[in-house]
Structure 1
C-alpha cells in the first residue's frame, strides 16, 4: 500500500523477503514501512508469486523477494529482502511493470516489452523455455505498438493498438482455442468480443475473457500509436475547443489518456 506521501507499506507472508522490509520473519501481520524506498516517488507497485517490484515516477525499477528463476532481473538467483535497483533497465523509461508467479514483464514509454525470470512454459516470449536472469526485449513484439502488459501465473497478455497477444502455458486453455500447451512466442488471438464466442467454465477462463474484453475496449477507443500519453498540444486543443460542441470528444480523449497506469506514468515520465 502506498500512502499519500509516497511511502510504501507492506505486510503478510514474507518467506522470501517479498515484503522488502529487511526482516527474516516469515509472516508480518502489521503494515511495515519499506525504508529502502524512502524518498523515492513511486508511480506503481506490483506483486508476483513471492516477489515484488516498484516503478518510480522517473521510470526507475526496483525489485525484491524470491529470485530462484531470475525474476528480479538482477543477473543472479539470490533472494533479496530489500528493494534493489534494476540497473539493466536504467535507460528503459519504464511506465508499467507486471509480475507473474516467477516471471516479470516491463513496458517502456516507447511501447517495447522486456521479460525476465522463469521461462519454462514459454511465458517470456523468447521462443525458448530458458530462464532469463537479465531483462530481455521480446523481439517478436517489435513494432506491435504495445499499450499494456499483464502477467498471469505462467503466461503474459499483451494488448497492442490492433491486437491482443498471448504467450506461455496453455495447459488449461487460458490462451484460447487451438493453442499448443506451451506458446513460446507472442501470437495474436481473437477476442470473444469479435468472434461472438462465449467463454464458459472455470474461473481462469472467465478472468481471461474479462481481461481481453478490457484490452479490446482500450484498443477500439485508442487514437494514438503506442501508449496514450498527455501532451502539451492536447491540452492546448482542449482549451481552445472547450465548449458544449466538443465536450464529449474532449471527455473521451481524457478518459483514454488516463485509462491505465501505463498511460498515466508515461504522461509524466
Structure 2
C-alpha cells in the first residue's frame, strides 16, 4: 500500500462558514480576541448569508450571540439591553467586553500572566496569581497566613496550602482573611477573637489558613470579610455568615453571634439566589441574580440605604433602586459608604460623604443610592471603596478616583486633602487596569498585562516594596 498522503495545513477561510461561526461563538475567545480577528481577517469582516444582514460582520454576529447567552444580559428587560448597546456605540464587541469585565470584577481577572485577583486589607495585601496565593504587609494575628513566627512580609510571599488545592477567590479586611478554593472549600486565618474565622468557639488567633470544617460539602465561590464577621456565598446562591452580630450584620433576624457559618434563611425564597456579596465594617450587601440589592446590619452611616435609623437585622431590598428600575451588577462596601455599578455601566453611591467619598461634588451624606456624574463615556465595570475613598475601573482600562487624598493612596494630587468629584488617575494612563483593591492607606492594581502596581503608604510593607516607606506614584511590585 502507498504511504498515507502527508496532511496539509488548512486555512480557516477553507472551513465551512457554519463551523467558523461555531468556533468564534464558542466562548473561548474574549471580546479583545474577536476584535483582533475582525481587524486581521478578511473573512471576519465580510457579510455572509449565515447570519442576519443587520450585523456589520461575522464577528459582530458572534459577539451578539455571546451576549445573548450571557446570564446578566439575558436577565435584562429589552429596554435595558438597548441602553447597553447604545452606550457601547452600537458595537456588540464592546457590549461583550463590558459583560466579561463585570464578571471578573468580583473574582479573578484574566491577564496575560493568567488569572489574578487582588485584595487589600487594613495593613496588608493578598494576591491570587494562577494556582498560588501571595501575601505581604503586617501579619497582625496571623492574617498573612505564614505562621506564628512571621510578623511582617516585606515582599509578596507564597502561602502554603495542600498541593491539590487551587485558590480562586480571596478576601482581606481588617485582621482576618478568607480563601476560597476551586474545590469549593473555605480556609480562614487571622484574628478569631470574635469567631469570625468560623472554627467554632475557638477564640485564639489562627496563624495559618485552616479549613472551615462546617462548610464541607457546600461549594463556596466567594467570600467577604467585615470588621469582625465573615460572609460566604455558595454556588447555589446561598449565603452563610459567622462572627460578631451586634448590629444584625449576619442577617439572622437577631443580635446573636455565630461561631460557625450559618445559612441566612431569608434568602432561601429568592428564586435564583444571590450573585455577589460585600461586607462593610458592620453591615452586609447581597446582590441577587435578578439585579436586586439587599442590605442588613448597622444603619449608623446610612450604608443599608433604607432611611431607617434602626439596625436592619434581616436582609431587606433597597427599594429606591427597584423603583427606578436600576439593575445592580456589582457592589463594594466601605467603612462608612457604599458603591454600586449597574447593568448600564453607571455608578451609584450612598452613606457618609466625608472628603467627597461619594463623588457628588460635596461632602453631604446620601441616605439612598445616587448616580455619580462625571465619569465620561466609558462604562464602569468595577467599584472599590474603603476608608473615605472610592475607585471606579472603566471598561477601557482607565480608573477614576474621588475622596480622601491621605498618604497618596488615592493616586491623585490636589491643593487640599480631598477630591470631591471623579477624576481620572493620569498616573495609570499608560496601563490597562483589570482590577483594583484599596486598604486603609494603600492601593494595589493589576493590569491586563499581568503587572502588579501599588501606591500609597508602605510603612508596614503592605505594598510589598522593601526599603520604601511611601510610594507617591504607581510602582511595579515584584512577585
User: TM-score by structure 2 length?
Assistant: 0.41
- Residue 123 in structure 1 maps to residue 306 in structure 2: no
Alignment partner, residue 48 of structure 1: 226
* 1:131 Cα offset (Å): 1.1
Does residue 171 of structure 1 match 2:349?
no
Aligned length: 209
**2:299 and 2:310 in contact (8 A); partners too:** yes
Match of 1:96 among 249, 273, 276: 276
Identify the structure with bigger relative contact order (alpha carbons < 8 Å, sequence gap 6+): 1
The 5 Å alignment of 1:35-74 reads 35-74=213-252
> Does structure 1 retain, via aligned residues, the 8 Å contact 2:341–2:348?
yes
Q: Which residue, 143, 160, 183 being the options, matches 2:342?
A: 160
In 1, Cα distance between equivalents of 2:269 and 2:198: 24
Preserved CA contact (<8 Å) 1:129 1:184: no
Question: Is residue 2:192 matched to residue 1:14?
Answer: yes
Matched, 1:78 2:260: no
Change (3 A) 1:118 1:35: same
Mapped to 2, the partners of 1:46 and 1:129 lie a distance apart of 25
- Consecutive unaligned residues in structure 1, runs of 5 or more: 196-202, 219-258, 260-269
User: Which residue in 1 is equivalent to 2:367?
Assistant: 184
Q: Equivalent residue for 1:198?
A: none
What is the rounded CA distance, in whole Å, between the counterparts of 2:351 and 2:369 in structure 1? 8
Tell me the SS of whatever aligns to 2:393: helix
Per mean C-alpha deviation after superposition, the further-off stretch among 153-162 and 77-86 is 153-162
Q: Which residue of 1 aligns with 2:321?
A: 141
SS, match of residue 190 in structure 1: coil
Q: 2:205 aligns with which of 27, 33, 38?
A: 27
1:51-85: CA deviation from partner (whole Å, max 9, x where unpaired): 11111111111001111100000111111110000
Q: State how far apart, in whole Å, the 1-side matches of 2:186 and 2:291 are.
A: 27
Higher strand share: 2
Structure 2 distance, partners of 1:216, 1:126, is 34
**Distance apart, 1:29 and its partner CA:** 0.9
* CA-CA distance at 1:97 after TM superposition: 0.6
Q: Which secondary structure state, in structure 2, belongs to the residue aligned with residue 70 of structure 1?
A: coil
Structure 1 residue 193, shift from structure 2 partner: 4.1
C-alpha deviations, 1:176-230, integer Å up to 9, x for none? Answer: 24445431111111144469xxxxxxx956x51x3x2347979xxxxxxxxxxxx
In 2, Cα distance between equivalents of 1:107 and 1:65: 21
What is the Cα deviation at residue 25 of structure 1?
Answer: 2.1
CA offsets 1:139-196 (integer angstroms, 9 cap, x no match): 011110111111111211011133211011112321124445431111111144469x
